[in-house]
Amino acid sequence: MNMSKNEIFEVLLESIYEIVPELEGEKITIEDSLQDLGANSIDRAEIIITTLESINVSIPMIKFGEAKNIQDIVEIIDIAIDELHINS
Amino acid sequence: MNNQGVAITGYGIVCSIGHNSEEFTEALRTGKSGVSQLKDSRTGLGVNIGAEIKDFSLRNYLLDANFSIDMINRVKKMTRRAPLMMETVVAAALQAMECAGLSLEQPPTSRTSIIVAGSNLSQNLNFNTAERHFDNLEFVSPNYALQFFDTNIMATLSELFNIHGEGYTVGGASASGNSALLQAYRLIKTGYADQCLVAGPMSDLSPIELQSFYNLGALGGNGVKDPKAACRPFDADHDGFIYGQGSGCLILESIQSAKNRGADILAELAGGAMILDGNRLSDARESGEVAVMKKALLESNISISDIDYINAHATSTPLGDEIEARSIKSVFKNEINRIWINSTKSMTGHCLTSAGIIELIACIEQMKNGFIHPNLNLENPIDPDLRFAGSHSINVEIDTVMSNSFGFGGINTSIILRKSDH
């Protein structure tokens, strides 16, 4: 698997629109936080799991606890993908 | 202890024969069967027929019913990715609130409670989740942790309607609906609540539950050519129950509260009872059924000569139908020539945990509109002494009704409804 951060962001965006359809049509930037966009705690967990399933990478949810915005989520996924490469 | 009279001031329904109370009543009057081939027939499943809710979408329902955009958005947000069970019970609750003249935007109230009838209400969601994630557990939906609890239904209704009183989920197998009504009745009667939303979500069975009922010999419709002929309560050719889907909600309220806000009292819940057989198995027992009907009459201060009509549990199961017929004769003695008997299940199928709710709504509609609905497929009654409704509805004034629900595990319930003189 080889994905750029931008590609990870694109997958994340798809998940956000799928889980919180009210955001359809709204411009979402990588600096936005899911909470500020109106995603509740369950939505946020759901968005992350849906994204991980699409990318097919498994990361414990606890690692996302410190994420402040979408950028942080992308970083955590990016690091996990890199580690997968090193280990494989 | 206070001693409040208990009124019914609202109700709503989504089931196989109607997506609101008008459609449901019309279906009862004309004798419409909701039974057909299951949408999702599976190879290996013993019986592939049932009375399913078809062509229902909460989104379309909300748009058609002219709710405010604000309300539509609120409901949509709270029911995202929710199973049909949740969509239909929310629609039924919205109908019930509107019917009772209760505002959907009311301030928080702790004088209103919620009781949800049934247990294991998300079996199909459970099955589908297991099927999808058998080999990749790491991606199981976090939302499932909320959804699999039956209390999720109570919580959703509580958030939607700003209800902050007591909340319970009351399970009692096929007697869940009546069990929930009994608890709601007591909350109001004793003054713990002024209003109670009683919700009966549809039993969302997966192929596993259907097949286990089949393997137990409880499911009917074996080898039947016309699905509509499969459900035949009290008929000599009955061979088991037919699965039905139905979500229904009722608003129970103290007479005083209803009067204070000028609400229409649609009927009064006179009382009811539950008696356990002390038997964990699925077989019905005459002793328990007789005892519970007698106790319900006693608790309601109603005599056998007051009862005009019995909405029977009658699931179309040979032993169950026969025992109920015998029990009714034993309780009502010489009155049996006069009292009308029918089974709503002949049209809706057996809605299991919500059956008591669906059938009480059928009772209210028949009482309100002065008719007794037909017993579909009753060609050769198992007991010629009882006054069963035939294949067409009959215009009859009804003042007092008994509604029976009996569940696996020896759970016998009976409740009594009467016209209000308030």
- pLDDT over 50 (residue B56): yes
Residues B247 and B138 in one domain: yes
Question: What is the C-alpha separation between B296 and B25, in angstroms, rounded?
Answer: 26
The CATH number that applies at residue B354 is: 3.40.47.10
For residue B12, the model assigns a pLDDT of: 98
Predicted pLDDT of residue B68? 86
pLDDT, position B40:
83
- Residue of chain B nearest A58, judged by CA positions: B138
CATH class of the domain at A5-83: mainly alpha
Other Cβ atoms within 10 Å of A5 Cβ, number: 14
| DSSP secondary structure, B200-258, as one string | E------HHHHHHHHHHT-B--TT-SSGGGS--TTBTT--SB-BB-EEEEEEEEEHHHH
Better-scored residue on pLDDT, A24 or B412: B412
Whether B154 maps to a domain, the answer reads yes
Task: Give yes or no: residues B276 and B263 share one domain.
Answer: no
Q: What is the pLDDT of residues B364-377, one digit of tens each?
A: 999 999 999 999 99
User: In chain A, where are the structural domains located?
Assistant: 5-83
pLDDT score, position B109 = 85
pLDDT cut 70: percent of chain B above it: 99
Same domain, B103 and B137: yes
CA B97 to chain centre: 17
Same domain, B291 and B227: no
Tens-digit pLDDT profile for residues B256-275 = 999 999 999 999 999 999 99
Residues of B within 8 A of A45 (CB-CB) are: 142-143
**Do B139 and A52 count as a contact with CB atoms less than 8 A apart?**
yes
Q: Are residues B262 and B305 in the same domain?
A: no
| B263 and B396 both lie in a single domain | no
Is the predicted pLDDT of residue B2 greater than 80, yes or no? Answer: no
Whether the CB of B143 is below 8 Å from some CB of chain A: the reply is yes
d(CA B7, CA B420): 8
Q: Which domain holds residue B187?
A: 6-267
B138 vs chain A: nearest CA distance in angstroms?
A: 7
- Amino acid type, B212: S
- List chain B residues with CB under 8 Å of A42: 142-143, 146
Give the pLDDT confidence of B169-178 residue by residue, as tens digits: 999 999 999 9
Q: Which residues of chain A make contact with B156, given a CB cutoff of 8 A?
A: none
Give a yes or no: residue B179 inside a domain.
yes
Q: Is B146 in Cβ contact with A42 (below 8 Å)?
A: yes
Q: Does B1 map to a domain?
A: no
Q: Which of B240, B267, B294 is the last residue of a domain?
A: B267
Please tell me the predicted confidence (pLDDT) of residue B1: 44
**CA nearest B138 in A: which residue?**
A58
Residue B403 is encoded by which pair of tokens?
Answer: 């509604």
Residue of A22, A45, A52 lying closest to B77 (CB–CB): A22
pLDDT of residue A88: 67
How many Å apart are CA B355 and CA B351, to the nearest integer?
5
Domain count, chain B: 2
Out of B267, B302, B328, a domain closes at B267
B175: in domain: yes
Tens-digit pLDDT profile for residues B10-25: 999 999 999 999 999 9
pLDDT at residue B108 tops 90: no
B136–A contact, CB cutoff 8 A: yes
Per-residue pLDDT tens for B206-250?
Answer: 999 999 999 999 999 988 899 999 999 999 999 999 999 999 999
Average pLDDT rounded to a whole number, residues B287-310 = 98
- Its ipTM equals 0.90
Q: Which residues of chain A have pLDDT under 50?
A: none
**Are B247 and B88 in contact, with CB atoms under 8 Å apart?**
yes
Query: How close is the nearest chain B Cα to the Cα of A23, in Å?
Result: 11
Share of chain B above pLDDT 90, in %: 90
The domain boundary, picked from B247, B267, B287, lies at: B267
Q: Are residues B207 and B309 in the same domain?
A: no
Residues of A in contact with B139 (CB under 8 A): 49, 52-53, 58
8 Å CB contact between B38 and B49: yes
pLDDT digits (tens, 9 = 90+) for B139-170: 999 999 999 999 999 999 999 999 999 999 99
Residues B45 and B160 in one domain: yes
